Amino acid sequence: MSAAMKAGFMLLAFVNSKGGVGKSTLAVHAAVWLHECGARVALLDADAQAGSSEWLARAEPGIRVARMASSGEILAHAPRLQIDADVVVADGPAALGGATVALLGLADRVLLPIGPSMMDVKASYQTARMIYRLRYQGGRGNPLEAFTIFNRVQPRTRLSKTAVEAVVKYGFPAAPTVVQLRQAYADACGRGTVVWRMGAAAKPAAGEIRRLFGAILAPYQERTIAVDQGAALQRTGAAVILKRRAQSSDAFIERLYERLPEHLAPCESPVEEGSSAAGRSRQS
């Protein structure tokens, strides 16, 4: 475990190059859940639509929100945000550009929400491949942890067996709780709140999302930093690691770019049914 992880300076990144997969919904709910658990939380909103910033400002005004649009902003300012909070929850953009790669380079844990169909799985493959490539990036001090989250699953239907098998081939586990497609999540956004504050009508949604976070965010439930001299020393050690991560991520991004500074060179074709995504990723 790295010094940054021991100190509790965590960055949790919700990313997917495909839009409409529920990144903002999950990011806002995760930020409020961690805040209610006693952690000092900040939200890093890297999505151009800024939906999570506006939603969280209404749902929990006490949580700090920072908007960062480019890889340069993220690499320069996110480490400071991490030092000032126990947990930074990042809402990534709907694009596989430099901003997404910067978040992946700085993150301790990445959460990849995807829809339950093979179309959604294929559309998410490039992001999954990038996560795989960055898992053991030099300078981070610990492997990047990652989970896929099946989101917006239709009630009373089963996940496609092919989709589940394809996600397993990404090389990192799927979250044990499936998030269903429920009106309560849309209503929560419209009301500027979270589902567990909406009463009996949203109880099923509240239960499933609490189970999800209890399973995949358990290490971050309680505030781990005391404001004392020991914490100051931990912050110094964490700052060194985060600086190394930023430098390593910046170098990695430069190798991927062609001419446009925020346009990433394309990855290989999405995974086909029955092929091994993880195997091809190891060869890259």
- Residues 168, 192: Cα–Cα separation, whole Å: 35
**E strands in the chain:** 10-14, 41-45, 64-67, 87-91, 109-114, 145-150
Neighbours of 67 (CB within 10 A): 15
Nearest residue to 127 via CA among 165, 159, 96, 83: 96
- Residue whose token pair is 């929100």: 65
For the stretch 57-94, pLDDT in tens is 999 999 999 999 999 999 999 988 988 888 999 999 99
State the pLDDT confidence band at 256, using cuts at 50, 70 and 90. low
Q: What is the pLDDT of residue 226?
A: 36
Question: Would you say 151 and 113 are in contact if contact means Cβ atoms under 8 Å apart?
Answer: yes
| Mean pLDDT in residue range 1-30 | 78
Confidence of residue 150 (pLDDT cuts 50, 70, 90): very high
Phi, psi of 28 (to 5 degrees): -65, -45
Question: What does the alpha-carbon distance between residue 9 and residue 12 come to, in Å, rounded to a whole number?
Answer: 10
Q: Diameter of the chain by CA atoms?
A: 54
pLDDT at res. 281: 35
Q: Which of 121-130, 163-172, 273-282 has the lowest mean pLDDT?
A: 273-282
Using 50, 70 and 90 to split pLDDT, how confident is the model at 233?
Answer: very low
Q: How far is CA 16 from the centre of its chain?
A: 9
Which residues have C-beta within 8 Å of that of residue 47, sequence separation ≥ 6?
23, 24, 91, 92, 93, 94
Cα–Cα distance between 88 and 11 in angstroms, integer? 5
Given its phi and psi angles, is residue 144 left (phi above 0), alpha (psi -120 to 50 degrees) or beta?
beta
Cα-to-chain-centroid distance, residue 178: 16
Categorize the per-residue pLDDT at 227 as very low, low, confident or very high, splitting at 50, 70 and 90. very low
The encoded tokens of residue 14 equal: 């919700």
The answer to whether residue 129 scores a pLDDT higher than 50 is: yes
- Edge-to-edge strand order for the sheet containing 109-114? 64-67, 41-45, 87-91, 10-14, 109-114, 145-150
Tell me the C-alpha distance between 282 and 225, whole Å. 37
- Angstrom distance (rounded) from CA 203 to CA 93: 30
pLDDT at 8 over 60: no
- What local confidence, expressed as pLDDT, does residue 192 receive? 97
172: pLDDT confidence band, cut at 50, 70 and 90? confident
CATH number for region 3-271 = 3.40.50.300
Average model confidence (pLDDT) across the chain: 80
Whether pLDDT at 141 is above 90: no
Exposed / middle / buried, residue 174 (Cβ in 10 Å: 0-12, 13-18, 19+): middle
According to the model, what pLDDT value does residue 252 have? 76
The domain spans of the chain are 3-271
Q: Are 64 and 74 in contact (CB under 8 A)?
A: no
Cα 114 to Cα 100: distance, rounded to the nearest angstrom:
16
State residue 219's pLDDT score: 59
